[in-house]
Structure formats: C-alpha cells, structure tokens
Chains A and B, each alone.
Chain A
C-alpha cells in the first residue's frame, strides 16, 4: 500500500535496539524527576530519614522503571489482543477484593497475594482504557454516531466502576468515569451526548447520595463548608490550607514544615504530600511540580497525536488522562477545591502498588510512541 508507506505506516517488526532508541527518554527523565521530588518529600516526611518511606519508594521506583521500559517495548498489538483477557482479570480481581480483600481505611482495597499486595482498582483503570480503545478502534465513524454502538463500551466501563465504587473508593470511581469519558470524547462521540449524560447524572445525584457511605457524605458536606467543623471533619482541609498558605512563596525549607511535622497534616506521606511540598518549598516548589506534570501531559498528548492507529491514540489519551486526573484531583483536594476523596499524587505519594501500576501505564504510553507507526488491524486477530 503506497499510500500507507508514504505516511510511514508499516507492519514491519522493530528490533529491540530500535525500540529502545525510540523510547521517549525525555518523558522517562521527567518521570524520574517527579518521582525524585517524591523521594525528597518522603525523606522529609520521615523527619529526615530514608526509612521507612523513601528507601522503599526508591526501590519500588527502580523496579517500576525497569518494568516501564520493558512494557514500552511490547508491541501495542499485544495490548490489543490482551485487552479483553486483561479486562476480565481486573474484574475478577475486583470481585475477589470485594469478597476477601483487606480492609484498610474503612474500605476494601487491597488483595494480598502473599508476595505482593495489589489494588485491582489501579489495574482496572488501565484495562478499561485498553478495552474501550480496542472497541472504538474496531468501529468506524458512522457507527460511533449511532447510540446503540455506545451501549457496549458504557457497560464495559460501568461494571468495574461499580465494583470500585462499592469498595468503596469514590475518588478512583470518578477518575475511571472521567477517563473513559475523555476516551469517548476523543473517539468522536458527539458533544450533545455528553451534555445529555451530564444532565442525567445531575438528576441522579439524589440517588447517588443515598448510596454514599456516611463518611463519604460527610466529606462532601465538609467540603462544602469546611469551617463548619474545624476540629472534626473539616480539620484536614483547614490544616492543609494553613500548611499551604503558610509556606508562602519560597516555603519553610526541607524538613521545616511545622504543619507537616507537628502532625497537623494527616497522611502527609500519601494523600497530603503535595501540601507538605508546598509548605516546605512554597509556591515555587508547587509550581515546579505542576510544571513537570505539564511536561508529562504534553509528552502524552504529543504521543497521542503522533500515533497512527486509533487504538494507540486512545490508549495514550486514556492512560495519560487517568494519571492527569489523579494528579489534578489530589492537588485540588489538598487545596480545598474538591472534597477529600483520598486519591494519591501520582509518582510522588508513597505507595508501592500505585507506583508500579503508574509506571506500567507509562510503559504502555511510551510503547504507543515506540509503536506509533504500527498498523493495528480492526480486530485484534491481525
């Protein structure tokens, strides 16, 4: 097909060396930079000690970084083929965690496989993107215009989303829904349909309210007026804002965050790590991190733009958006812009599973770039 070759699209297999050369090392370096900020903050969170958080985070990152490079060399057609089995595995794990997961922080989230604890919700985030991308890759533009063709991908989204919501993990549920919405949007679903869904979602708010757990409702209520209960439910938001604000432009210096180190901040090594960064390194520190995230986002968008296949584009958009939304929600949360939903800050918050799944996701994203010119057949069966 001359037209195809003129566009540089090809079916030929790349050698490993070529693949490694194709890896977006700039993105990998940015990822390393963001994670390093995390290492420093974890060092500070422990009161100037590499134990217990920073050292483990570094070793997890090292493992994850290797995993990322390895995943980046995997042909995206493999992910096309593996999408449904991977998706099925995620759903099974979500059900399993529902049945026998470890309860932590009032929610069932972890599945202890003995050698590693996994959070199926994190895996589900990626697998949903893969199946939806595969589905939209397989149908054409006219079919997208037909609402019936949207029933299946919506179902594919809602089943795991419901299971995650049931854990209950409100933040992740919202990230999953928003991520798929972005993928739908990028796949070409008409605008008015989003408006319709948004309208009916607004109508469903009372129903959703009745399904929320007490502590989730409390979080929403507290978010709406945190000062109403300064020593109770609003405490975390208020203390987080005080920590941020008191950091000023330049911050209080590494280890100098009084709010963080005097235990006014909850979960400073995980959900509120951005607060601690902003307290100790100020507006400038926060700006640097947001800048690095922006670099990552721009890399991700560029990768989506460069990918020739719809599958590759949508996977890139989906994976990137999931990470972006996590970062956005976490930072907005600690600034008091959205309720405290308990989402970690990607690459920075302490957490092994989260780090591994993130780098796995970045691996797929980079893999899309490496395999940007690969011709992906309509159906996964080549």
Chain B
C-alpha cells in the first residue's frame, strides 16, 4: 500500500519532472536563440557600421606636412629654406615619472625652470602617449649624447622636424617675413594647419605666397592599438611639396644696400628695374632677426622690438610715408609743361616769394636769380616751383602725381603697403572742412605739407620718368602666383602714362644736371672714373609730425630730440644715364640733407648694381637664368 503509493508518487514526480524538463529545455534553447539573434543583428545587420567603427578605431590617418617651398632670389640664391631640426621629446606614458625623467635629462641638456613648467603643463594637457617637446634646435652633440643615454631615459626620444632658415637673416626679413604657428583665427578647417609642427607665413613674401609655398599635405594611414601606439603603416600618400618662390631680388645688391643703410640710424632704400618693375633690392633699416619668430620669440625681445622708436618691425620702404620734398619737383615741372608753361620760361629767384602777408623762402638764402626749368630742377630752386604751384593749383599737380604712381598703393606683392597722400581741394575740404589756400599750393609744389609718398612710390615714379613714360609697377616675384598655382608672368606691357617724350626729356636733362652740372645739388656725387654715370634728384624734407604719427607714441628721451628734429634726407636716382636700367630711392630718416646724406647712398647702390651687371655679363653672357629645379 505504502509502496504502491510511493510508486504512484514516483510516477507523478517523473511525469512532472519530464514536463518541467521540457519547459527548461525550451527556456534554455530560447535564451540561446536570443544570443543568436543578437549575433545576427550585430554581425550581419549592423556589420558594416561596426566594420567602419573598427577601422576608425585602428586606423589613424596622419597628415604628412609637405616641405614648405623655398624662397630664392633671381639667381637662385636661397633666401628661405627648411632645415632639419632635432628636438628631444618626452612621451609621458613611457616614463616612470615625467619630473624624474626631466631631472635625468637636464644633466645632458640644461632645462630652465620656465621650460620645465611649460613641459609639465603640456604633459598634463595632452594625452599621455603624445610626445611633448622638451627642447628644440638641438646641437648634434646633444642629440648623440641623448641617444647614447637613451636606455636610462625611458620615454625620451629624438624627433626630427623642420625649421625655417633664412640665410640672409635680418637683411631680407622685411621682404620675406617669417613663419609662426597658426593662430586660432588662421584655422580654416584644413587639418594641415593643426599639425603641431606646421608654420604659416607671417609678413612679407612668406605671408603673401603662403598658400603656394604650403603645398598639399600627404597622409599616412597608421594602424594603432587601443593605446594609440602605432603598429604599422597601411598606406602612404606623399602629398605635394610647396612651390618655390623665385624673387626678382638680387641678394648681392640687397646685402650691399643693407650694409650701407646700417650706417644710418633709420633708413630705407628700393632699387627697381625701370623697364619691367623687378624690385632688385628693398631695404628697411633697422631690421629684425626672422629666426627669433620662427623659434618663438620671447616676451622681452618682442616688447623691445615694439618699443624701438626706429620701428624695426616696419618695412619703411613700403609703409613709411614721407614728404617727398624736392624729389616731387619733377611732377610739378611736368604738370607745368602740360598746362602750357615752356621749359624755357624763366623765373627769377630772389631767395623768397611773398604771398599775401606770408613769405615763402627758398632753401638758398640769397636766391638763385633767373632760372629755366632744367636749372630750377638741378639747383632745386624752391621759388621757381612756388611760382609753378601758384599757377597750377593742387589738382593739376595731383593729376600728374597719380600718373606716376603717387597717392595710391602700387599693389606690390607685399603686405602693409601704404598709399601716401596727394592733396587736392576736395580732399582738404572733406578732411578738414576748410578751403584750399594758395599758400598750400606753394608748399605742395616743393613736396611738403600734405604730400606724402613711400620710398616704393618714389622709385616707381623715377622709373616711369626714365623708362620712356610707361606705367611700370613694382613686384617682387618673377612669376605670377595665384593662390596655390604659379604661372608665368606675362611679358611686361605697361600702359604709357600719357606724357610727351619731349617733356620727359626735359626731366632727364634736369636730373642729369643735378649730378653732373657743377651747379647741381649733388654735383659732388658725380661719377668720373667709370664709363657710366647717373642722374637723380635730391630732397630734404621736414615732416616730423607726420612720421611721428606712424610711430607709436612713446616717451621722448631728451637726447633723441635733436635727431628727431632733423630733416629727412631723400634721393631718387637712376643709372646709367644714357639708357636707364636701374631706379633707386633712398630715404634717411632725420638724416639731414638729401645731397649730402641720401645721394651718396644711392650712388653706392647704383655703382654696385652696375658692377654686378658687368660681372654677371662676364660670367653669364646669356643673362640671369631660371633655376632648373623649380617645381611647378
């Protein structure tokens, strides 16, 4: 009975067990089914998405910075190039402790406290596997010492980068500019700009042709692990190196000019080919060392440059606006001829001219006596030009001035070009609300008062005077650089400025006499021992107030006052006399007289230009050759 009951119970238990086992089996299989469903979803339905994510995970696209284009002069001499730069970097995650590693490293290369703080700051900001630069521009000795000690310096390695090298240093810095890391505002989304090593051009040619010199970034696909450590390279695309920029500059002439101007406190000079507008030399003194910027200039050095009253950061050749003084007299003379005044018309100079209650003095106290136009130019008689100015009024002078490139920018391929100023009645009314006084025409006729011009404008004016009357414009590159492309510059075909050759011939006679006539203002600078000579025009102007406006207003030290009160010395000239090829303009700020200070500089520069020309004709009879390895 009991046993029977037990057996029934066992049977019932077995039955229930079987039933529940079926349930359990179904449950287990169902859950495995869920897993399979999930796998199907992840591996079949969503496979592409996850495949992309896996590739994004492992493939690190690294940009390869293209080498920046070089800058060379017209003969292929290198003005800016890239130099290998050895740096020591530290990777935080590979070091036991960054401070300890820096301690060990500082026994090989000195690390200042400031550098140390910067390094530690960068280490804490960056991800731990990214290298942080400890020291730049290592000498080869240091490189090898670090390499030898590397077993004791975990996480320390030598990285090779590239820095910009300017073999001519401060001689070309105003033209070339410099490179510096991009600022926040420079970022355009081009990832190239975000490379730690990338530099963009600041100032000068480096800035104007920055895009062309940058080139196109290559890239390399690197497989990285979860920590970001590179495992292997999957693919590589080298990109395009930047274009080289060929300048019209002649570095030999540039060096001579820079050396000569360095004898003055503050000066600028420009040399131009009168027929095609090639700028052969452009110097602004004092200058600065572009390498300081490429490396990252220190705060005190930067403040010192800014505070310098002689404006070393400014390219005075294009940004300095000066009253042209007597160098403006050719414009007035041409305007006079155009309005019907004969060059033979004589004005008698008693040493001054009276206008109303005012007395306008000639620079020559006793006066010049009666003078025609050529004599008035060569002796720079102010009274003659007062008379012309009185007769002409501002508009006719301004019209002529503009045809010679004054009063507006010339679109040279440099940043920071200033327009100068050529006053007219309407300009004055708009500017001051007052009418034009006749006395102001007199002042303007000798290039004083409101009249302002840059050395670049003055050299362009001179070129247009002596090249047969073509509106040549200045440029620094031999090619036409458009954005990233470089094209051949079209053969120069400058429009005529619309001045009769006869009138220009009068000017040439006048400028010839300035140097070569015994009564000329710069007769002492004439060249007698060569088979060529030069012409030009001196200028002495006092526009201290306006040049001061350009400067940052600073405390004037008493000993500077006399220098600042001195006249600007100017000279514009050309050579050779018979078939002019070179035009030059020189300004020496507060240098004194144009004939005694500026003319000798112009003479030396022109002499060097002629000497170089002859020398090159001997060695390179076919003339300047384009360098062969140009890219683009």
Contacts and interface: CB of A to CB of B under 8 A. Distances in A.
B519 to A, nearest CB: 86
A248 B39 contact: no
Interface string A247-268: 1110000000011001110000
B235 interface: no
B57 A259 contact: yes
B13 A287 contact: no
A306 to B, nearest CB: 11
B556 interface: no
B47 A264 contact: no
B494 interface: no
Given A283-B39, A328-B35, A141 B18 contact: no
A245 B50 contact: yes
A142 B13 CA distance: 10
A255 B195 CA distance: 34
B13 A141 contact: yes
A188 B12 CA distance: 10
B382 interface: no
A245 B32 contact: no
A149 B9 CA distance: 17
A317 to B, nearest CB: 7
A290 B46 contact: no
A211 interface: no
B480 interface: no
Contacts of A186: 17, 20-21, 24
Interface bin, chain B: 35 or more
A278 B36 CA distance: 12
Interface stretch (B206-214, B224-232, B574-582): B224-232
A245 B42 contact: yes
A259 B42 CA distance: 15
B7 interface: yes
A244 B53 CA distance: 11
A248 B50 CA distance: 9
Contact of B35 (A188, A313, A332): A332
B51 interface: yes
Interface in B12-38: 12-13, 16-18, 20-21, 24-25, 28-29, 31-32, 34-36, 38
Contacts of A249: 43-44, 47
A337 B34 contact: yes
A331 B35 contact: yes
A294 interface: yes
Contacts, number: 130
Contacts of A243: 50, 54
Given A249-B43, A262-B231, A290-B32, A335 B53 contact: no
B223 interface: yes
B218 to A, nearest CB: 24
A286 to B, nearest CB: 5
A304 interface: yes
Contacts of B224: 262
Contact of B21 (A142, A286, A287, A304): A304
Contact of B53 (A245, A248, A263, A298): A245
Given A262-B58, A262-B231, A246 B50 contact: yes
A81 to B, nearest CB: 22
B40 A141 contact: no
A298 B36 CA distance: 17
Contacts of B36: 287, 290
A134 to B, nearest CB: 16
B49 interface: yes
Interface in B295-341: none
A102 B225 CA distance: 31
Contacts of A283: 39-40, 43-44
A220 B192 CA distance: 42
Contacts of B31: 328
B13 A310 contact: yes
Contact of B225 (A185, A262, A317, A331): A262
A264 B24 CA distance: 37
Interface in A322-350: 324, 328, 331-332, 335, 337
B17 A335 contact: no
Contact of A335 (B16, B39, B49, B226): B39
B563 to A, nearest CB: 64
A245 B227 CA distance: 21
A21 to B, nearest CB: 26
A282 B42 CA distance: 10
Contacts of B29: 294, 297
Interface in A274-325: 278, 282-283, 286-287, 290, 293-294, 297-298, 301, 304-305, 310, 313, 317, 321, 324
A188 B28 contact: no
B234 to A, nearest CB: 11
Nearest to B35: A331
Most buried by A among B29, B31, B39, B225: B39
Nearest to B16: A188
Interface string B138-170: 000000000000000000000000000000000
16 contacts: A140-B9, A141-B12, A239-B226, A242-B53, A242-B54, A247-B47, A258-B57, A259-B58, A283-B40, A297-B25, A297-B28, A305-B21, A328-B28, A328-B31, A328-B32, A332-B38
3 closest A-B pairs by CB:
A245-B50, A246-B54, A262-B225
Interface of A: 3, 140-142, 182, 185-186, 188, 239, 241-249, 258-259, 262-264, 278, 282-283, 286-287, 290, 293-294, 297-298, 301, 304-305, 310, 313, 317, 321, 324, 328, 331-332, 335, 337
Interface of B: 6-7, 9, 12-13, 16-18, 20-21, 24-25, 28-29, 31-32, 34-36, 38-40, 42-44, 46-47, 49-51, 53-55, 57-58, 223-227, 231
Given A298-B25, A331-B35, 7 more contacts: A142-B9, A186-B20, A239-B57, A258-B223, A262-B225, A264-B226, A297-B28
